[in-house]
Amino acid sequence: MTGRFYTERFSQIDLSDPIFDELKRDYPGSTTSTGFVDWFSKKSAANAEATVFKDQSGLGAFVYTKLEEEPLILVDRVLPSAKRMKIGTLKLAESQRGQRLGEGVLGLILWKWQLTDQSEIYITAFPKHAQLIQLLERFGFDLMGSNPDGEVVYLRSRNNIDYSTPYRSFPFINPNFAEAGLLIVNDHYHDTLFPYSELANTKQEPLQVAAANGMSKVYIGAPVNVPPYKPGEPVLIYRKYTGSGPKGYKSCVTSYAIVTNVVAAKLNGKFILTMEEVKSKVGNKSVFEGEEVEKRYHGDNNLVIVELLYYGYFGPGNNLNWVWLRDAGLWPDAYPTEVRYSRAEFLKVLEGGGISVKNTLIN
């Protein structure tokens, strides 16, 4: 089964799990620093909590964060006191290395940071953790230097957001966008691609595929025309209810994403990309597996690949159904995937979904 994230007390977590073996070796303890085992025991006694990911293989990730307001000591300088969130521990199981869970874990952490009033977020890591460092740099963390324990220090600040890529600014939307789009996703595909957007009064039954993890998503569609989405602009994610009965109250906008690429693989029956090129772009970021991708590739007259970075979700009770969109004058007369929302209209939907615009678009 596809796993999910949980919040658990340290006392509920098995310290002998193999996920902690490297941490025990890297942080044995000394006269000047607390070892990982002693630190874990103290957190357990204090009823502290951590975020963990579990699937059929067991514990796949362990994350601990805390809030600070103190100087950050580096080898060559001291960063003055500031409100900071520290990622105290971010550890993936060996079985998850090279998968996309790390991207999903970091996304959850950055969402959590967004909801605080902390101006900065940082993490320390040993230089040998090249895969983690690569992920941090992709998501906008900058190297500040090294600390006295030999770890490198990576930091992000709300006061200096890099909008050069949607990854580096995540989860803050570039305020300079002019228009936004609407992406229609059938319910059974939606609930796998966008697993964090829990739907009020709707039972989600995710397909058992790896796409449930990670912030990078790929949607494959067969529209009449290539959607007018532009890389870097936001799109609203609309969950289309395909069951029986009235659909106006069950189909709804649940979340939003930033388009990173739009590629036409086939138009009017003419192949533009090879099957191998399509599979390479889709990877494990979609709900479609190899055989189904081939079926769509050969069977659909048009095939368009939309690459997205999942930016945020409205959450239970905040999803906006078709009736709300219609009454707000936001349901298009044209085919929905071709709709172009103005900046003001997009922000109206965010506000309707309970999203703080002030804390999502930062100049």
Residue 249: give the domain boundaries.
179-359
Is 148 in the same domain as 223? no
Tokens standing for residue 39 = 């630190």
Q: Is 191 in the same domain as 94?
A: no
The confidence score (pLDDT) of residue 203 equals 62
- C-alpha to C-alpha distance for 214 and 195, rounded to whole angstroms: 10
Domain of 86, CATH number, reads: 3.40.630.30
Choose the final residue of a domain: 133, 160, 187: 160
Q: How far is CA 69 from CA 72, 112, 123, 269, in A?
A: 9, 17, 14, 60
The domain that contains 247 carries what CATH number?
Answer: 2.30.130.30
| Residue 57 CB partners (closer than 8 Å, separation 6+) | 93, 95
Q: Reduce the DSSP state of residue 65 to 3 states and report it.
A: strand
Q: Are 96 and 221 in a shared domain?
A: no
Domain co-membership, 212 together with 77: no
Query: 103 lies in a domain?
Result: yes
Q: Tell me the longest C-alpha to C-alpha distance in the chain.
A: 71
CA torsion sign, 187 to 195 to 235 to 277? negative
State the alpha helices, DSSP H only, in 139-183. 166-169
Q: In the numeric block, which tokens belong to residue 329?
A: 């004058």
Q: Is residue 144 part of a domain?
A: yes
Collapsed DSSP state (helix, strand, coil) of residue 191? helix
Number of domains in the chain: 2
Does 167 reside within a domain?
Answer: no
User: CA 154, 160, 165: angle at the middle one, nearest 5?
Assistant: 80
- In the block, which residue shows the tokens 């930033």? 258
* Claim to verify: residue 193 and residue 289 sit in the same structural domain: yes
143 shares a domain with 47: yes
Written as six digits, the tokens of 80 are 């003055």
294 in any annotated domain: yes
Domain boundary among 111, 128, 160: 160
Let me know whether 217 and 253 are in one domain.
yes
Q: What is the pTM of this model?
A: 0.91
Non-local (6+) Cβ contacts of 174 within 8 A are: 163, 166, 232, 361
The residue written with tokens 């081939």 in the block is 294
Q: Which helix (H) or strand (E) holds 322?
A: helix 322-327
What is the rounded CA–CA span in Å between residue 212 and residue 185?
15
Residue 212 is predicted with a pLDDT of 54
Q: Which of 342, 108, 135, 349 is nearest to 233 (CA)?
A: 342
Nearest to 222 by CA among 132, 335, 69, 358: 335
Binned average pLDDT, 10 residues per bin, the chain of 363 residues = 81 95 91 88 96 87 95 96 96 78 91 94 96 95 95 96 96 96 91 77 53 81 88 95 85 95 94 92 79 89 94 91 94 80 96 95 87
